[in-house]
Amino acid sequence: MNIALITIGNELLAGFTVNTNASWIGTYVLKAGGKVLWHQTIGDSKEEIHHALMSVPSGCETIIITGGLGPTHDDVTAVALYDYAEDSPVFDEAYWDNLQKRLSKRNMTLPDLNRNQAMRPQKGNVIDNPVGSARGLHFIVDDKHIYAVPGVPREMKEMMKSTILPFIRQNSENMLFVRTIRTTGIMESALAEKLAHIVQDTPNGLTIAFLPQFTGVDVRLSSHDENRIKDLAEQIQSTVGKYIYGFDDDRLEDTIGEMLSGKSLTIATAESCTGGLIGHRITNVSGSSSYYVGGIVSYSNDVKESALNVDHDVLEKHGAVSPETAIQMAENVREVLHADLGLSVTGIAGPTGGTKEKPVGLVYIALADGNNTIVKEFRFVKDRTLNKNASSQTALNMVRLYLMSKVNK
Amino acid sequence: MNIALITIGNELLAGFTVNTNASWIGTYVLKAGGKVLWHQTIGDSKEEIHHALMSVPSGCETIIITGGLGPTHDDVTAVALYDYAEDSPVFDEAYWDNLQKRLSKRNMTLPDLNRNQAMRPQKGNVIDNPVGSARGLHFIVDDKHIYAVPGVPREMKEMMKSTILPFIRQNSENMLFVRTIRTTGIMESALAEKLAHIVQDTPNGLTIAFLPQFTGVDVRLSSHDENRIKDLAEQIQSTVGKYIYGFDDDRLEDTIGEMLSGKSLTIATAESCTGGLIGHRITNVSGSSSYYVGGIVSYSNDVKESALNVDHDVLEKHGAVSPETAIQMAENVREVLHADLGLSVTGIAGPTGGTKEKPVGLVYIALADGNNTIVKEFRFVKDRTLNKNASSQTALNMVRLYLMSKVNK
């Protein structure tokens, strides 16, 4: 089923709001078996809505409209649709009473301005709004289904899930299955090379996309055949499993959280250039208090010495950004905070502070377990934000690889 | 000058890519004095591009197209435009040589696939690409200017700035001036009330929008008259200045960074539920090493005792989430890490871990300067991410208010 999407709002055209509704709808329509073929954004005006409706390509059987259903005079979508569908709306007394009751529970009264939200079509239908006051609308005009939902993301998503996506699913041949394989620690070109023999043998109707980001490469598989996706994902996993930290929305911190929990190990962090980002990421996972004891952000050399007991001589001789310092940070944070593992990062985030010998982007990461300490050197880029992100990702990945190696022993 | 925007790409329709180009272009066109009236997203197909060009509303004098200028067979924008403008492109030997030279410097050779990127129109012009290989195109068809630029954001922005925005500026009556006033620590309704008398007296041609987010409310002023914006911003500042931490793209961490630097004060952090986020935010500012000495992420009670010297009895009697613990964390981190100020946060981020007496969202924030310690209680929401964000924002704002009060004394 082919879909035309019309998103309404002066804020969208002015760029003050990023159109995340459009991407959400695009993906969910695709998963339901449909396809957004055409998307137009226009201002809050009846004429523009009519012009947009009339320019929908003939191949689109269904039209989804978002925005302009609120109570103010800017919100003209309902009026434009009643006109377009040659419908005369009626006042829905029951819904108005209901709205007033809902608000009186919160000791609020509903201004008369909101009365237009209680209108309902005679030829069309309304779509319930469990999280707001503006209901959605549904019309059939010239055999095309037209759905209008509010622009508020939470309300739009509720109505898509309750009504529009089920309709698309029912009227589409095949649902599309999408599986994203998330890798880190390998460049796109190297990954593509390792997977070349698998990708070449891929049957028709299966799409593979490489999506490189600075913190790793996602490999997105999509097909109408769920089994094909499963088979291919398994093949990829057996070839480059070392680099795979998760699937779909998994985060690297989720993965290491599960691994640490599974092994009943605790971890402590000693951060310099990442400034607390690694602790922040680890604690984004609910339940992380069972394996994360805490950390020391040793931004100054004084804190490296006083709180982390890094030798004054080591700092003098090798500098704060050195393998020697990284090793002491990891080993000492483990002891000072009483954890099984100690993870440290020290580097030059930039954009200033680099020298010829130690340029911006030079980072040392160390991991200590009481018996052994691993330390590695990395050379990232000139950008502060990218360096912090890459450093935290690489450090967490070092923990993942360490824990994987413990399984296999 | 009215603009029609056509963004091309199957990835956009499928929702795999969020259309941030459209919002960037919308805002910069507005600032240059133009206005995006109409925006359409279509797939990579010659027919769809022609259909889109023909459905541009007559009121739009200029058309901007992004995407589809790369070297692969998916990239059909150039071909579609040559057709539409009835132009026959020619091979640009000089540009091809130049491209090859650029790549040979990096020890790479340019595949023949890229030859189409060296084509150039006879009737139209090219737009230089300082950061990539695909040049932009410019045609005039039926008195409408058509500009096509790559979809890669960095390349698109360069060409907008070098060529298209200056053209819009030259052909527009008035530039639009936009000033965003960033507040935190006050609800939208309270802010609106305090500003009601100013907003009511606002002359025509000046727009005020309240943009509430979870970490504060932005107030956006826009007008063609720069002085009006200045006057209004001053009025707002004199009324609610206490809540204003910055303008436009300023971050709260930038503001407190400048204040700490200006007063030659240092700060240390003791974080529990924020897990390192405050340190991460402070160190997002280049140069923060001059005032941020570091911090202790005391996620476990053991670390609160061993690294932060919080009394065992206090933890036993009042619990980790209590004003008493927050006070000791702030006072002790200041001493342990040798800083002028100590900032602490302890709370229940959720979604689990709450009790009837201490529900999810309960957070204590303390700030110690060696003489006095302030502690405050907050009750945020049920969501972990929102709680971490609100806690870090409120903590940094407490530092801002403290430093402001020091100025005024």
CATH code where residue B320 lies? 3.90.950.20
Indicate the range of A285-299, A310-324, B204-218, B301-315 predicted with least confidence. B204-218
In chain A, which residue's Cα lies nearest the Cα of B220? A16
Asked if B326 and B233 sit in the same domain, the reply is no
Residue where one domain finishes, among candidates B170, B201, B232: B170
State the pLDDT at residue B399: 98
Calpha distance A40→A57 (Å, rounded): 11
Q: How far is CA B172 from the centre of its chain?
A: 27
Interaxial angle between packed helices B188-200 and B226-240, expressed in degrees from 0 to 180 and rounded to the nearest 10: 130
Q: For chain A, how many structural domains are there in total? A: 3
The top-scoring range by mean pLDDT among A345-349, B8-12, B101-105 is A345-349
Asked if A322 and A366 sit in the same domain, the reply is yes
For residue A408, is pLDDT > 70? Answer: no
Interaxial angle between packed helices B77-84 and B46-54, expressed in degrees from 0 to 180 and rounded to the nearest 10: 50
Residue whose C-alpha is closest to residue B390's, from B240, B269, B274: B274
275-304 of A, contacting B, C-beta below 8 A? 275-280, 282-284, 286-289, 292-300, 302-303
For residue A174, is pLDDT > 60? Answer: yes
A242 close to A404: Cβ distance less than 8 angstroms:
yes
Asked if A35 and A100 sit in the same domain, the reply is yes
Identify the helix (H) or strand (E) that includes residue B286.
Answer: none
For residue B111, is pLDDT > 80? Answer: no
Chain A residues with CB under 8 Å of B353 CB are: 289
Query: Which domain range does residue B315 map to?
Result: 252-408
State the pLDDT at residue B2: 96
Residue whose C-alpha is closest to residue A394's, from A409, A380, A408, A373: A380
Cβ contacts from A onto B, under 8 A: 253
pTM: 0.89
Asked if A403 and A312 sit in the same domain, the reply is yes
Asked if B348 and B385 sit in the same domain, the reply is yes
DSSP SS3 for B274 = coil
**Exposure class string for B142-151: b at 16+ Cβ within 10 A, else e:** eeebbbbbbb
Structure tokens at B173: 């009556």
Asked if B107 and B189 sit in the same domain, the reply is no
State the pLDDT at residue A19: 96
DSSP SS3 for A88 = coil
Calpha distance B184→B252 (Å, rounded): 9
Residue whose C-alpha is closest to residue B341's, from B282, B254, B385, B273: B282
> How large a percentage of chain B has pLDDT more than 70?
99
pLDDT band at A407 (very low <50, low <70, confident <90, very high): low
Residue whose C-alpha is closest to residue B134's, from B124, B112, B119: B119
- Disruptive mutation site among B17, B180, B303, B345 for chain A (greatest number of A CBs within 10 Å): B303
For residue A188, is pLDDT > 90? Answer: no
Chain A residues with CB under 8 Å of B275 CB are: 276, 279-280, 282-284, 288, 292
The chain-wide mean pLDDT, for chain B, equals 93
Residue whose C-alpha is closest to residue B273's, from B382, B366, B391, B377: B391
Calpha distance B274→B387 (Å, rounded): 8
For residue A97, is pLDDT > 60? Answer: yes
Q: What is the CATH number of the domain that holds B199?
A: 3.30.70.2860
For residue A139, is pLDDT > 70? Answer: yes
For residue B64, is pLDDT > 70? Answer: yes
Calpha distance A377→A367 (Å, rounded): 12
Q: Do B42 and A41 touch (CB under 8 A)?
A: no
Asked if A96 and A233 sit in the same domain, the reply is no
Asked if A160 and A215 sit in the same domain, the reply is no
Residue where one domain finishes, among candidates A206, A226, A247: A247
Asked if B187 and B141 sit in the same domain, the reply is no
For residue B63, is pLDDT > 70? Answer: yes
- Give the closest-approach CA distance of A91 to chain B in angstroms: 30
- The residue with tokens 């302890």 is B346
Asked if B21 and B156 sit in the same domain, the reply is yes
Q: Do A13 and B35 touch (CB under 8 A)?
A: yes
Residue where one domain finishes, among candidates B143, B170, B197: B170
Amino acid at B187: M
For residue B407, is pLDDT > 70? Answer: no
Q: What is the CATH number of the domain that holds B44?
A: 3.40.980.10
Contacts of A368 (CB under 8 A, 6+ apart): A327, A330, A331, A334, A341, A342, A344, A374
For residue B272, is pLDDT > 60? Answer: yes
The complex's ipTM works out to 0.89
Calpha distance B177→B67 (Å, rounded): 29
Asked if A154 and A87 sit in the same domain, the reply is yes
Asked if B278 and B150 sit in the same domain, the reply is no
Chain B residues with CB under 8 Å of A320 CB are: none
Contacts of A240 (CB under 8 A, 6+ apart): A183, A186, A191, A194, A195
